Every structure is written in structure tokens, then in C-alpha cells.
Amino acid sequence: MSASIILHASDGHSLSAYVARPASQPIAGLVIIQEIFGVNAHIRSVADGFANDGFLGVAPALFDRIKPGIELGYEGADVQTAMSLIPKIDVEKAVIDVAAAIDYAAKATGKKVGVVGYCFGGSVAWLAATRLHPAAAVGYYGGQIGKYAAETPNCPVMLHFGRQDAHIPPTVAEAVHAAHPDVEIHWFDAGHAFNCDARASYNAAAAHLARERTVAFFKKQLA
């Protein structure tokens, strides 16, 4: 079962969120943090997938601060629109919005909450781990994580990167490993956005293995 709700951030901002509910009592809550394409069909499907695994999935619309209802595809003009949004993103406020989603998931389940993010969302997931207090965090190919590698996570963290990712140099993961050897980092023979089955860079084998590890990690840390 899925629904659209309104979240209320601590600074007074209201934003929408997609909620995917499991068929039975949730194992835990899980906040799914979007790419730069908004809470689109792919991100909703990711939330649905986690709900099928027993989690209450909450995907906050972080672009509502720029313009409500942004939902983009991965080709043509939509890509240009997505790129144009990057300078408008306030990462500090994105973290505030993720906090609202964590609070909602915690209250809705009465259980622990984790965060998982992809691309832009992967970087925000790292900041959620260092600046908020989720019970666990997973970041997929977060290109900006290196800028914040010195920040210390407040929870167990798992990170996924592709060896053929032309957008993220190995130094990003190396900076995290040097500062935090306990952070679990996985490398895949894949490019950027290998988890997104709506993109040409999708790598089924890497996506399956990364997801398998992610679900096992969350079940261990959140159960």
C-alpha cells in the first residue's frame, strides 16, 4: 500500500513524501533519499521494493523547497532540467527535510529508522548519518561524500561505488576509509547510477548484489 503525505520540517517548511507500507507489521522504518530527478517513478519503485522486504519506506520530496512536484526522467530536456537544479539545492535544508522523514517513520513504526540514498541522495545519506541520528545509513555513489569525509557518523554506514564511475574518483571512498576505517565500503564493476533500471548505466548484477547487501545490513542494524 502506498500514499502521499505531508511532512513538516523543524524550520516550518512543509514537503510531500511518498510512503510505501509493507503488507504486515514493519520491521523498521526506512527513508529513501532521491537522486537529482526528484521522487520519480524509479524512486517510488525503490520504496515499494523495500516495503516488499518488510520496511516502511518514506521518500521525502527534497526539491519541494525549489518547486513542489518536481519529477523528472533520465533523457533529453529532463536531464538538463535536473542539472539546472543542482545550484539551487541547499544541502543543509535537505538534511532538515530528511530529519522530518526520519521522525515520521519512527512515529509511524515505533521502531528504528535507517536512511538510504542514491547519487545526490547518497551524499545526503552520509550527512544524515553524521548530523542526525538514524540507526543505520547506506549511500549509493554519493559524489559529494568526500567533501564531508571528516565528519563522524553517528551510526553504522555502508557505501556502494562503481569502479567505472566517471563522475566519482576513487579518492572519495579513499578519504572516507582513511578517516573512518569501520565504514563498510563496497566496490562494483559498474558505472554511475548502476542501481537505476531506468538508465542506460543500469547494471543488473551490481544492483542485485548491492541491494542484497543493503537489505541484509538494514535487517541486522534495524531489527
Alpha-carbon distance 145 to 172, whole Å? 7
pLDDT of residue 1: 80
Active site residue 42: no
Active site residue 103: no
Which residue out of 64, 103, 165, 196 is catalytically annotated? 165
pLDDT tens for 37-62 read 999 999 999 999 999 999 999 999 99
* Confidence label for 69 from pLDDT (cuts 50, 70 and 90): very high
Gyration radius from the chain CA atoms: 16
pLDDT tens for 207-217 read 999 999 999 99
Residue that has been written with the C-alpha cell 542539472 in this structure: 83
Which residue out of 192, 196, 197, 208 is catalytically annotated? 192
Which residue out of 97, 119, 160, 196 is catalytically annotated? 119
191 to each of 68, 73, 118, 163, 204, how far by Cα in Å? 30, 19, 13, 6, 12
Q: Which residues lie closer than 8 Å to 57 by C-beta, 6 or more apart? A: 18, 19, 20, 21, 30, 31, 32, 46, 47, 48, 50, 51
* Confidence label for 175 from pLDDT (cuts 50, 70 and 90): very high
The beta strands (E) that lie in the chain are given as: 2-8, 14-20, 29-33, 56-60, 113-118, 136-140, 157-162, 184-188
Name the amino acid, one letter, at 77.
A
Look up the domain containing 79 and give its range.
2-222
pLDDT of residue 106: 98
Q: Which of 180, 112, 111, 114 is nearest to 145 (CA)?
A: 180
Active site residue 90: no
pTM above 0.85, yes or no: yes
CATH code, domain with 6: 3.40.50.1820
Count how many domains the chain has. 1
Ordered DSSP codes for 25-56:
S-S-EEEEEP-TTBS-HHHHHHHHHHHHTT-E
